[in-house]
A and B are shown apart, each in its own frame.
Chain A
Amino acid sequence: MSADDVRGTGVRWTGRAYLLIGVGAFLAVAAVASRSAVPLFVALPLLLVPFAVASLTTGRSMRADLTWAAGGMGADVDLTGELRGSLGTGARDLVLELFPPPGAVPTAPLRISRGSETIRFTVGWRLLEPTISTVRPPRVVWQDPLGLVEQDVGGKRPGLELERYPAEIHRLGAVRLDRTITLPGETRSRRVGASGEFYGIREAAPNEPWGRINWRASARVGRLLANDYQLELTGDLLIVLDVRPCSSDRAVDARLLGIARAGVHGIADALFHSKVRVGYATFGEFVEAVPLSTGRGHRARVLAAIAASRLSPVAGPAERCAVSVRRYYRPGITTMVVSSWTGDVAEELVPYLRRQGFPPLLISPSSLPMLEGTGDLAPDEEPLARRLELVERRVRLSETWRYAPVIDWNDYWSLEGLARFLRRPTRRRVS
Chain B
Amino acid sequence: MSASRVDARRGGSGLTFALAVLAVSAFGLVVGLPDLLGPAIGVAGLVLSSLWRRRPTTGRSFAPLPALVALSVLAVSAPVVASAELFGGFATLALLLWLADDPARPAGGGRRAARAIGACGLAIGIAWSLVLLLPSSSRGVGVAGALLALVLLVLAYLLVRETEGRIPSAASA
Report if A39 contacts B (CB, 8 A). Answer: yes
Establish whether residues A51 and B154, one from each chain, have CB atoms under 8 Å apart when the complex forms: yes
A-contacting residues, B159-173, CB 8 Å: 160-161, 163-165, 169-172
Report if A26 contacts B (CB, 8 A). Answer: yes
Establish whether residues A100 and B76, one from each chain, have CB atoms under 8 Å apart when the complex forms: no
Establish whether residues A45 and B169, one from each chain, have CB atoms under 8 Å apart when the complex forms: no
B-contacting residues, A93-117, CB 8 Å: 93, 95-100, 102, 106, 109-112, 114
Residues of A within 8 A of B165 (CB): 10
Report if A27 contacts B (CB, 8 A). Answer: yes
The residue from A8, A11, A26, A52 contacting B116, defined by CB atoms under 8 A apart? A52
Establish whether residues A97 and B96, one from each chain, have CB atoms under 8 Å apart when the complex forms: no
The residue from B91, B106, B164 contacting A92, defined by CB atoms under 8 A apart? B106
The residue from B1, B68, B76, B116 contacting A46, defined by CB atoms under 8 A apart? B68
Given A39-B72, A97-B5: A145 touches B110 (CB 8 Å cut-off): yes
Report if B8 contacts A (CB, 8 A). Answer: yes
The residue from B8, B92, B112 contacting A93, defined by CB atoms under 8 A apart? B112
Residues of A within 8 A of B6 (CB): 98, 106, 109-110
Establish whether residues A48 and B123, one from each chain, have CB atoms under 8 Å apart when the complex forms: yes
Establish whether residues A15 and B75, one from each chain, have CB atoms under 8 Å apart when the complex forms: no
| CA–CA, A97 and B4, complex, Å | 6
Establish whether residues A30 and B76, one from each chain, have CB atoms under 8 Å apart when the complex forms: yes
In this complex, the member of B76, B93, B142 whose beta carbon has the largest number of chain A beta carbons within 10 angstroms is B76
Given A95-B5, A95-B7, A145-B110: A14 touches B163 (CB 8 Å cut-off): no
In this complex, the member of B4, B80, B109, B164 whose beta carbon has the largest number of chain A beta carbons within 10 angstroms is B4
Report if B149 contacts A (CB, 8 A). Answer: yes
Establish whether residues A100 and B4, one from each chain, have CB atoms under 8 Å apart when the complex forms: yes
Residues of B within 8 A of A61 (CB): 169-171
| CA–CA, A38 and B69, complex, Å | 15
| CA–CA, A30 and B72, complex, Å | 9
Establish whether residues A145 and B61, one from each chain, have CB atoms under 8 Å apart when the complex forms: no
Residues of A within 8 A of B68 (CB): 19-20, 23, 46
Residues of A within 8 A of B8 (CB): 110-112
Establish whether residues A154 and B172, one from each chain, have CB atoms under 8 Å apart when the complex forms: yes
| CA–CA, A146 and B78, complex, Å | 27
Report if B84 contacts A (CB, 8 A). Answer: yes
Report if A37 contacts B (CB, 8 A). Answer: yes
Given A44-B124, A52-B153: A15 touches B61 (CB 8 Å cut-off): yes
Report if B40 contacts A (CB, 8 A). Answer: no
Closest to B59 in A: A15
A-contacting residues, B18-32, CB 8 Å: none
Given A48-B119, A145-B100: A155 touches B171 (CB 8 Å cut-off): yes
Establish whether residues B80 and A37, one from each chain, have CB atoms under 8 Å apart when the complex forms: yes
| CA–CA, A58 and B162, complex, Å | 10
B-contacting residues, A250-271, CB 8 Å: none
Establish whether residues B88 and A48, one from each chain, have CB atoms under 8 Å apart when the complex forms: no
The residue from B64, B92, B131, B157 contacting A19, defined by CB atoms under 8 A apart? B64
Closest to A34 in B: B76
Establish whether residues A59 and B64, one from each chain, have CB atoms under 8 Å apart when the complex forms: no
Report if A147 contacts B (CB, 8 A). Answer: yes
Report if A205 contacts B (CB, 8 A). Answer: no
Report if A40 contacts B (CB, 8 A). Answer: yes
Closest to B131 in A: A37
1/0 per position for A5-34, CB-CB distance to B under 8 A? 001101100111001100100110010001
Establish whether residues B93 and A39, one from each chain, have CB atoms under 8 Å apart when the complex forms: no
Report if A420 contacts B (CB, 8 A). Answer: no
Report if B39 contacts A (CB, 8 A). Answer: no
| CA–CA, A8 and B170, complex, Å | 9
Establish whether residues A39 and B76, one from each chain, have CB atoms under 8 Å apart when the complex forms: yes
Residues of A within 8 A of B153 (CB): 48, 51-52, 55
The residue from A43, A112, A147 contacting B102, defined by CB atoms under 8 A apart? A147
Establish whether residues A147 and B99, one from each chain, have CB atoms under 8 Å apart when the complex forms: yes
B16 to chain A, nearest CB (A): 11
Residues of B within 8 A of A139 (CB): 3
Establish whether residues B64 and A48, one from each chain, have CB atoms under 8 Å apart when the complex forms: no
Establish whether residues A51 and B150, one from each chain, have CB atoms under 8 Å apart when the complex forms: yes
| CA–CA, A319 and B110, complex, Å | 71
| CA–CA, A147 and B79, complex, Å | 32
Closest to B139 in A: A37
Residues of B within 8 A of A106 (CB): 4, 6
The residue from A11, A38, A49 contacting B117, defined by CB atoms under 8 A apart? A49
Given A38-B75, A58-B164: A110 touches B113 (CB 8 Å cut-off): no
Instruction: List 6 additional A-B contacts (Cβ < 8 Å) besides A19-B68, A41-B127, A145-B110.
Output: A37-B139, A45-B120, A49-B96, A59-B164, A110-B7, A146-B100
Provide a sorted-by-A list of 14 A–B residue pairs whose CB atoms are within 8 angstroms. Answer: A7-B172, A8-B169, A23-B68, A39-B72, A39-B78, A42-B72, A45-B121, A48-B149, A53-B113, A54-B157, A97-B4, A106-B6, A144-B112, A146-B99
Closest 6 CB pairs of A and B: A154-B171, A145-B109, A45-B120, A8-B171, A145-B113, A38-B78
Q: Which residues of A contact B (CB under 8 A)?
A: 7-8, 10-11, 14-16, 19-20, 23, 26-27, 30, 34-49, 51-56, 58-59, 61-63, 86, 89, 92-93, 95-100, 102, 106, 109-112, 114, 139, 144-147, 154-155
Q: Which residues of B contact A (CB under 8 A)?
A: 1, 3-9, 61-62, 64-65, 68-69, 71-72, 74-76, 78-80, 84-86, 88-89, 91-93, 96, 99-100, 102, 105-106, 108-110, 112-113, 115-117, 119-121, 123-124, 127-128, 131, 139, 142-143, 146, 149-150, 153-154, 156-157, 160-161, 163-165, 169-172
